[in-house]
Amino acid sequence: MEREQVVQLLEKYWQAETTVEEEKMLAEYFRGADVPLEWESYRDIFSFYAQEAEVKPGKELEERIMERVRPRPRLGAAWWGAAAVIVLGLGLSLYQRDKPTMKDTYSDPQQALAAVQKALLIASKNMNKGLHPLK
Amino acid sequence: MKMYKKLLIVLGLLFVGFVSRAQDDAIGKFFGKYVEDSRFSVISISPRMFRLLSKVRWDTIPADIRQTVSKLQSLRIISTETTPYVFYKEALSKIDMKEYEELITVRDGNDNIRFVIKENGGIIHELLMIAADKDGFTMMSFVGDIDLDKLARLSASMDIKGLEDLKNAKRKNK
């Protein structure tokens, strides 16, 4: 490759405009023996790239990946089902506790008090009835 | 996997049991069954409402009643005029006598009254009255800290001797 061409390609290269082929040409050139001294640093750069391209994943990499993706013991469907039943049960029991049995009949405390008073008197009267069957 | 399925069924049954236990007391069962039944009239006063009662005018309320009410937590009443004796019997059959202690029973031609209590460490937490005559059936549950003497005294204006007799009745019961 002519010096002129190399200069052009390098310029393009640093603009990141070189094609794959052109980069290959550059790499090949700097691998060659007749690289001027001023371009010695370029030679290092391109030989570094070449070296890095040679790096192959070690054997342990595959092992490490397989370790990561190995199926783990998981909660079975039955356990999820059981969990769902538990949640449902708790929910239902809470729901039932507040359900119809304890819905307030009165919203006015005064009326509620009147009802309580009446109930107490009925209970009291019945109590005394039990203690005085002949009266 | 088969074992898991069995486990699931067992757990499921356990929780169905647990849930239905929540309403297993006599009055809860009875209320639960008839609360939506149009033949019954229902009165429920929740602990929340009992707390609100402190805000109403009490001047006209006799002191005895004031004291009794202030110790109550909830009140439930269910009553009907339909086939009173049938419901009386059904209600009695639903009371778990392991939980309740019999207090007073009246049985004559007309009246059927049963008082049972739930007691713990000398304090009566629930008083349950089940009553039926030819006109109707009533079930009342008072929950709170219940003083039987005081309760009997509430109608003492009608019957001053009630108090003494109740004391005797309690002694007999123990």
Distance CA B162, CA B128 (A): 19
Between residues 55 and 114 of chain B, which touch chain A (CB distance below 8 Å)?
55-57, 61, 65, 68-69, 72, 74-77, 104-106, 108, 111, 113
Would you say B45 and B77 are in contact if contact means Cβ atoms under 8 Å apart? Answer: no
A-chain residues near B140 (CB < 8 A): 119, 122-123
**pLDDT tens readout for residues B26-73:** 567 777 788 788 899 989 898 889 988 888 877 777 788 888 898 999
Computed on alpha carbons and rounded to an integer, the radius of gyration of chain A in Å comes to 45
Q: Higher confidence at residue B40 or residue B170?
A: B40
Is the minimum CB–CB distance between B11 and chain A shorter than 8 Å?
yes
pLDDT for B113 equals 92
Q: Which of 39-98 (A) contact B at CB < 8 A?
A: 76-79, 81-82, 85-86, 88-89, 92-93, 96-97
C-alpha–C-alpha distance, residues B127 and B102, integer Å: 10
Question: What is this structure's pTM?
Answer: 0.55
> Above pLDDT 70, what percent of chain B?
78
Considering only residues 148 to 167 of chain B, which have any Cβ-Cβ distance to chain A shorter than 8 Å?
A: 148, 151-155, 158-159, 161-162, 165-166
Residue B161 DSSP label: T
Is the pLDDT score of A110 beyond 60? yes
Determine how β-strand B136-146 pairs with β-strand B72-80. antiparallel
Q: Do B46 and A106 touch (CB under 8 A)?
A: no
Nearest chain B residue to A87, by CA: B15
> Which strands form B72-80's sheet, in the order they lie side by side?
B40-45, B72-80, B136-146, B123-133, B112-120, B101-107
Quickly tell me which residue has 């010695």 as its tokens: A40
B109-127: pLDDT as tens digits: 778 999 999 988 888 999 9
User: For the residues of B37-59, what is the DSSP string, one character each?
Assistant: -TTEEEEEE-HHHHHHGGGS--T
